[in-house]
Amino acid sequence: MRGKSVLLRPVLALALALAWSAPAGAAPVLEGRTLRYENGPELVWQRSFPAALGELSGPLEVGGVTYLGVGPEVYAYTTRGRVLGRADLPGPVSSLDASGGVVRVTTGGDGYAERFTLATGASGPSVQERVVFPPDPAVTGWLLRAAQAVPEADVQAAASEDPTNPFLLLRLAEQRRAAGDSYAALSTVRRALGTTLPFPAWVQLAARLDTAGYPAAADLALDRARRDAAGRGLDPDVPVSRTALRAYGNPSAYLGTLLAQNRLARAESWMAYLRELHPRFKGGPALYARYAGILDAQGRAGEAEEWRQFARSLRAGTLYNLGPSGLNSVRDAARLSTLALALSLVAAALVLIARAWRAQGQATRPLGGRFGSWLRRPLARARFSSVAYASLSERFLLTLLLAGLLASLGGWQWANRAGAALRDPALNMGTYGGGWGGAGLGDLNLRPGPDSVLLIGLASQLDGDDSAARQIYTSALPDACALNNLGVISQARGDEAQAREQYRAALSARPDLSAAAFNLGLNPAGPDASFQRTYRPGQPRLCYPDQRSLTRAVTGDLSVTLRGSLLNPVQVLSAAPGRSPRLGWALLGTALLGALLLLSLLLPRAAQTPAQARTLLVRALTVLLPGTGLMNSPWGGMLLLSWAAALAALTPRSGLVNFPELSLLASGTLQTGLQTSLIAALAVIYILNAVILLTAGFRQVRQQRWEERAES
């Protein structure tokens, strides 16, 4: 009881002071961009707000405190005009109301709205609900923008009117240091560090403290940024896009500046910040490699290898463990196989057309000619198509090639769709939940399944709605992540026995699940466990979806893409994000051609004399297009595919040559060596094709002589 009374004394004293100092009949009035506090005809105080700060909402007076919404902020003023505090909100304030004596704030967004409850204490207003900041610089950079809008001559007055804005205090400190008063400047910096800020503002403040020559203060600001972000539910397991990182203080850009200036002592602090809070940010592997290279150049090979190993560890949980850019590799592989299969089909079709040309012309003359017969008698003309003169094994090879082309086109489209979906801002903001994130998840059209359930349940759990999260997770059982997060809910309710049972079940279902291992006290390694121990001590670890889980949630597997493309042609031909109408047309055309080839397997082979099939043009084509003269044998298919793959890899559109974004082949030496190897492989293929053709020709001549001798 004594502890509670000690805590209540400052609040009661504040309330009594406000009530005693409030003038009778006084009321706040907003006129244009000026807030006036009047006591009848007497003006007690006033504040003006530039239009650049955003729309104003209110004012609202509750318990002697005046609340005013300014952009995404809510300021609280005493009756004497002193700033009592500030509440940072995730969007522009649209309304303030005091139903039942409780101050409620509504913020607006694109297609959604959020409501928050403010509680006023000795340190000013605080938001009772979880606040998730969207990756919007207009919101996260409001305090910095407000401080920069103040003219140099008015900085001291503005800092006195709003001592909660540390950027104003930092500008005041720089003025005092320039005037030669270092002690006053340092004291002002300490006052700036004593303010309450969201983590994006702490990061922005840290960069300016670093630039101003206060490295210790910058390190303290970064530490407070990590702690505030951890309290808001940001986690190193959740990826962060460049847009989000830019809105959250843009630490990677400032780090790049430090590296360019060779200020490695300061760069280490910022690298540690990114490694602990945002290790999976877009562009991270390139930055880690650059930093490791700088360490190598300084003779710090051990530290460089540690950073490389850390970058490699982040590949776990990605698509085929290829790393964050694994989908690009899958797309390039699908593009290469598509080009190779298309080349092999074109080569085979050219040889079949040339081989059937004479016999086809004679057979279609009574039907109206080679081309006119398609209009006069299409069914009879189909009987004499070029494929009809091919053997059953040759048709089967063409069908297999078309099936492979269909799969590679589907894989190409799937990689494009999955990549576009995984780049969605709702999945790349460092956490889940909040009004902005919830609206984004709703627009993703997640596929039903445990992976989608995990995303929705996490958003509810992080927002504090454990009851809804429990119901959502139950529908995903026996998913290991859902079991672990159910254990977190049980532990929060005080049921330790059930929580440990659920953790054990999750670890049994997925032995590599570090969250369940952490919750069981097994001390797993990794940035997520280290972050949890440092910034959320004593709290259980949630399980977050990895890239493979997110991919299944947003697109499903390749079979889902192929079924959706073939059953819904209108959707596949749309220009939605991640979809290409040209790729859709190619997919549908390949499927139709494959169906026709399947039907051709039932047709008998059309009659053709050896003289009609073995023309000089056909023989030349079989030499120029390896494998096309041997399609009746396994050697033909192998040579044809090998030749097409080598030729496709040499083209710039294949993704293997002249594509500098591929890290494995980025250097000119590797690309030159690859080209040389491919050309050598082509030469070997041509030699093998010539040898096999000559051998087959000799065997055919020998067989004909034996047949002639047998007849004679």
Q: Where are the domains of the chain?
A: 2-129, 166-282, 448-554
Q: What is the pLDDT of residue 669?
A: 54
Of 706 and 421, the one with more pLDDT: 421
User: Taking all residues of the chain, what is their mean pLDDT, rounded to a whole number?
Assistant: 85
Q: Which of 541, 544, 431 is nearest to 481 (CA)?
A: 544
Residue 16 pLDDT greater than 70, yes or no: no
Q: What is the pLDDT of residue 658?
A: 39
Edge-first strand order for the sheet with 124-127 is 93-99, 102-108, 113-121, 124-127
Q: What is the pLDDT of residue 1?
A: 36
If one counts every other C-beta atom within 10 angstroms of the C-beta of residue 361, the result is 13
Band (578; pLDDT cuts 50, 70, 90): low
Does an H or E element contain 28, and which?
strand 26-31
Band (10; pLDDT cuts 50, 70, 90): very low
Q: What is the pLDDT of residue 17?
A: 41
What's the average model confidence in pLDDT over 252-262? 93
Band (660; pLDDT cuts 50, 70, 90): very low
What's the average model confidence in pLDDT over 416-421? 87
Q: What is the pLDDT of residue 659?
A: 40
Residue 242 pLDDT greater than 70, yes or no: yes
Residue 667 pLDDT greater than 60, yes or no: no
DSSP one-letter string for 466-513: HHHHHHHHHTTTT-HHHHHHHHHHHHHTT-HHHHHHHHHHHHHH-TT-
Q: Which of 288, 319, 271, 235 is nearest to 528 (CA)?
A: 235
557, two tokens:
């597997």
DSSP one-letter string for 605-672: PPP--HHHH--HHHHHHHHHSTTGGGTTSHHHHHHHHHHHHHHHHTSGGGSSSS-TT-GGG-SHHHHH
Residue 18 pLDDT greater than 60, yes or no: no
* The CATH number, out of the four listed (3.30.2010.10, 3.90.1530.10, 2.130.10.10, 3.40.50.300), of the domain defined by the range 2-129: 2.130.10.10
Condensed to tens digits (0 to 9), the pLDDT of residues 74-86 reads 999 988 888 999 9
Q: How far apart are CA 181 and CA 163, in angstroms?
A: 20
Residue 405 Cα to chain centre, angstroms:
28
5, two tokens:
């009374």
448-554, which class in CATH?
Answer: mainly alpha
Asked if the domains at 2-129 and 448-554 fall in one CATH topology, the answer is no
Cis upstream peptide for 239 (omega within 30°):
no
